[in-house]
Amino acid sequence: MPYKEGNRWRGAVKHRGERLTKSFALKKEAVAWETTTRKDLKKNARKRQQGMDLLSFCSKYLDYANRYRPKVYAEKRSVCKRILKEWGSETVVELITEEMVEAYLAKQKKERSANAANKDRKNLLAMWGKGVKTYGLTINVFSSTDKFPHDRKPQYTPPVDDVLALLMAATRKERVFLDAYLQTGARRSEIFRWTWVDDINFEKREYRLGTRKTKDGSMEYEWFPMSDDLFDSLSWWWKNRTIKESPYVFTDDQEGSHYGKRYSERRRFMHGLCKRADIKPFGFHALRRFVASVLADAGKSTNTIKRILRHKNLATTERYIHNINNDLKEATGALSISSLQGHKKGHEESIEKAAENDF
């Protein structure tokens, strides 16, 4: 109970051997403070017995997820915001049930899309998996959920004519940059990270690509043979590069705050080049799909194309292509400009032959 202390009233609460006190002008204020404080202490004690609250879990996981690429981290942070809004920051993680999870995912499907719900499911499955492995959770409530069926929107793959037009419209310097993608099938960021010392070996005619698409977010590297076209392009660029002191293969050489730094996005490059070539605009990832389609048409095996694209799952590669054969060095040769021109000619001849047969 509160007691008088001069002209004021002091509330007092004992908890775990400690004495909490606070001074008030009125006795009823001190009584109300004691009541609220005891309730809060009991509530927190129950939470400690039951486990971690959702806000703490999200914070721990996002600290861990900070090792991933910015885009991946942003996706995980967004889903954390959504579940905190849905279930509340003080909710005990162990008390989140499979029914709550199913209801949340169904809501995301209804309000956003089946694909958006599936992305949330993928991220939360990984988050709860980390919780079981590291933070003391006893069960992954997302492991029993199923993906929602959804129609995957087809992604654009440019035709050979458009890629040839793109190459014809490019300057010699721009052509080197394009060759880096067309001769490797690399992801955009993988080429941006290239350094002369670590990733390019002219003596062995090899290049190295690294990705963070691993379970723990660490870099994973692999060496590949260079095609003749790529060797010629990179050799020319090594001799004629504009910023010779930079360790990176491709750096921003335009005056401004980013001068001398490696590229991180280069958004306008492909759009401007497509406009100059007078073709339908497409981005770096479309070049990756184009590489897969050319290799498939050249008869290279799905496993070979999977190696070149560095997919973890064969099903991902199969979304890009359909065909079969083997040797890596032979495969990269199929991406040379002369081969592309031959590919175009053979395609046109097959169309003409089919038309004659129909006639």
> Which CATH number do you get for residue 88?
1.10.150
Q: What pLDDT was estimated at residue 248?
A: 95
Q: Are residues 46 and 58 in the same domain?
A: no
User: Is residue 145 situated within a structural domain?
Assistant: no
Which pLDDT score is estimated for 359?
Answer: 38
- 245 and 118 together in one domain: no
Task: Give the structural domain span for 179.
Answer: 160-358
Please, what is the angle between helix 70-87 and helix 98-111, to 10°?
A: 110
Domain contains 140: no
In a domain, 173, yes or no: yes
Same domain for 197 and 215, yes or no, is yes
pLDDT score recorded for residue 341: 66
Last residue of some domain: 134, 150, 180? 134
Based on the domain organization, do 69 and 171 belong to the same domain?
no
The distance in angstroms from the start CA to the end CA of the chain is: 103
Q: Is residue 153 part of a domain?
A: no
Pull the structure tokens for residue 140: 């992954």
The verdict on 199 and 343 lying in the same domain is yes
Identify whether residues 227 and 321 lie together within a single domain: yes
Same domain, 43 and 58: no
In a domain, 151, yes or no: no
Q: What does DSSP say about strands 3-5 and 206-211: parallel, antiparallel, or unpaired?
A: unpaired
Q: What is the pLDDT of residue 42?
A: 75
Number of domains in the chain: 3
> Does residue 108 sit in the same domain as residue 200?
no
Which of 116, 134, 152 is where one domain is finished? 134
The answer to whether residue 155 is domain-embedded is no
For the chain, residues with pLDDT lower than 70 are 15-17, 44-50, 151-152, 213-217, 320-359
Domain identity same for 243 and 267: yes
pLDDT at 318 (0 to 100): 78
Say whether both 128 and 243 belong to one domain. Answer: no
- Is there a domain that residue 154 lies in? no
The pLDDT assigned to 183 comes to 94
Q: What is the pLDDT of residue 258?
A: 82
> 293 with 333, same domain?
yes
pLDDT tens sequence across 51-90: 789 999 999 999 999 888 788 899 999 999 999 999 999 9
Residues in the chain: 359
Q: φ, ψ for residue 299 (rounded to 5)?
A: 85, 15
Q: Is residue 258 part of a domain?
A: yes
Q: Model's pTM, two decimal places?
A: 0.61
Query: Do 116 and 226 have their domain in common?
Result: no
